[in-house]
Structure formats: structure tokens, C-alpha cells
């Protein structure tokens, strides 16, 4: 009987070992999106949604309390702190938490600041549900996943054309350099105005001067210039 009991216990023991789940925090200002992602991910046996946040402030507080393995971060969080700023704050508070950007935006003014702020992966919201779950598992083990269009842009910026001539920023004033850096961080004119305590009209004037002096077309090109010149 003792032998039979031992065999039975040995057979059942693997079933009794609990699965170590990946804890996930969802950050998105749209309730329907949060609920949809949460519903699907909760069906995954190795993933656990520990909290959902509607804004950056709430997300940061939940990271402090829960220290999730992975944070799914939207970039456009409405008023207040955006997803790029929230990512930077979260990585300062909880370096071990891996941030996956999950957004609809894939222009340079979002991609590069998000990666620089500490995001491990950058995905678009048209991703297949199972691919999202797999990206979470990879993030938990430290592996980055990039949407194809995002990966393409990063590779292109790492391998600039040999014929490309990048204008010098030495002709910019100290204030213009400050504003150029903030543009590269993804701040809009209103946010720059508040950060530097100057009027929006003054910000617009400086932005216009920056584009003119550097022979650039728009803010996106200005952000790329800042990254290429290593102004961070």
C-alpha cells in the first residue's frame, strides 16, 4: 500500500505545482480597450491582470504598490502626463517592470522618445491577440518585440544614407536647443510653454526659428535631428 501511495502522489504532484503567472498592468484611457485586453489576457493560464489604469498618475501608484512584471502602456492618455513620461517614471520606480507600448501611433515623434524613455517593446493596436500574449511572455523574460513598421524605422535611423547631410545645431541659441530637446521628447507647444514658463506664442516663434535654421520641414524632422545629434 505504501508503494501505491507513493506512486499516486508522484503522479499527481506535477498537477499540484502552481503556474508562476506573469503579472500585468494595463494602462489605457479607454475603458472598452482596457476591458477587451483584460478579458482576453485573463484566459491565458500564465498571465494575470493585476490592475488596470485610466491615466498615468494612477498607473504609477499601482506600479509602486504591485510592482508588475509587465506594463502595457498606451501613449495617448488624455490630459496630464502622457505614456512616454509615465514610462520614464515607471522605469525609475520599478526598473524590473518591463514596459510594452501598445498604441495606434507609429510616427518618429512617438517611437524614439518611447524607446528612449525605457520601453522594451513597441506594438500597434492592430496586433493579433495571441501575438500580444506572446509579446508579454517575451517581455517578462527580457526579450523585445517591435511592430514591423517600427522596427523598419529604427533600422533606417541606425543606418542613415551616406549621402545624407545632417545640418549642424551649433547655430541654435541655448533656448532653441532646450526647445529642440523637448520636441524630441514628444512635448507639444502647450507642454513646452508650461515646462519653460514662456508663452505659447514665444514657443511657436522659437520652433519656427529652429526649423528655419536647420532647414527642416516639420517637428518630426526636428525630433529626428535631435536624436541623430545625440542631444539627449
Q: Map out the domains of the chain as residue ranges.
A: 19-158, 174-228
Question: So what CATH class is 19-158?
Answer: alpha beta
Q: Using one digit for the tens of pLDDT, what is the confidence trace for 1-11?
A: 444 444 334 44
Least confident of 10-19, 43-52, 59-68, 88-97: 10-19
Q: What's this model's pTM, rounded to 2 decimal places?
A: 0.65
Q: pLDDT of 169-198, one tens digit each?
A: 678 899 999 999 898 888 889 989 999 999
Judged against a pLDDT cut of 60, whether residue 161 lies above it is answered with no
Give the residue-averaged pLDDT of 116-123.
94
3-class SS letters over the chain: CHHHHHHHHHHHHHHHCCCCCEEEEEECCCHHHHHHHHHHHCCCCCEEEEEEECCHHHHHHHHHHHCCCEEEECCCCCCCCCHHHHHHHHHHHCCCCEEEEEECCCCHHHHHHHHHCCCCEEEECCCCHHHHHHHHHHHHCCCCCECHHHHHHHHHHHCCCCCCCCCCCCCCCHHHHHHHHHHHCCCCHHHHHHHHCCCHHHHHHHHHHHHHHHCCCCHHHHHHHHHHCCCC
For 174-228, CATH number? Answer: 1.10.10.10
Indicate the range of 34-38, 50-54, 141-145, 158-162 predicted with least confidence: 158-162
Amino acid at each position: 500500500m505504501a508503494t501505491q501511495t507513493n506512486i499516486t502522489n508522484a503522479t499527481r504532484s506535477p498537477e499540484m505545482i502552481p503556474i508562476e503567472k506573469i503579472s500585468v498592468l494595463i494602462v489605457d484611457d479607454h475603458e472598452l480597450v482596457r476591458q477587451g485586453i483584460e478579458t482576453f489576457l485573463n484566459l491565458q493560464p500564465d498571465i494575470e491582470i493585476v490592475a488596470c489604469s485610466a491615466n498615468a498618475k494612477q498607473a504609477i501608484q499601482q506600479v509602486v504598490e504591485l510592482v508588475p512584471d509587465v506594463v502595457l502602456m498606451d501613449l495617448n492618455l488624455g490630459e496630464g502626463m502622457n505614456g512616454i513620461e509615465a514610462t520614464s517614471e515607471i522605469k525609475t520606480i520599478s526598473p524590473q517592470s518591463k514596459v510594452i507600448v501598445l498604441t495606434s501611433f507609429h510616427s518618429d515623434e512617438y517611437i524614439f522618445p518611447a524607446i528612449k524613455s525605457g520601453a522594451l517593446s513597441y506594438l500597434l493596436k492592430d496586433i493579433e491577440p495571441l501575438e500580444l500574449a506572446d509579446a508579454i511572455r517575451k517581455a517578462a523574460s527580457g526579450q523585445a518585440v517591435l511592430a514591423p513598421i517600427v522596427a523598419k524605422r529604427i533600422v533606417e535611423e541606425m543606418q542613415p544614407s551616406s549621402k545624407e547631410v545632417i545640418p549642424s545645431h551649433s547655430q541654435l541659441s541655448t533656448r532653441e536647443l532646450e526647445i529642440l530637446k523637448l520636441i524630441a521628447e514628444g512635448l507639444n507647444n502647450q507642454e513646452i510653454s508650461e515646462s519653460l514658463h514662456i508663452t505659447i506664442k514665444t514657443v511657436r516663434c522659437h520652433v519656427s526659428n529652429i526649423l528655419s535654421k536647420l532647414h527642416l520641414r516639420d517637428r518630426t524632422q526636428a525630433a529626428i535631428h535631435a536624436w541623430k545629434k545625440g542631444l539627449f
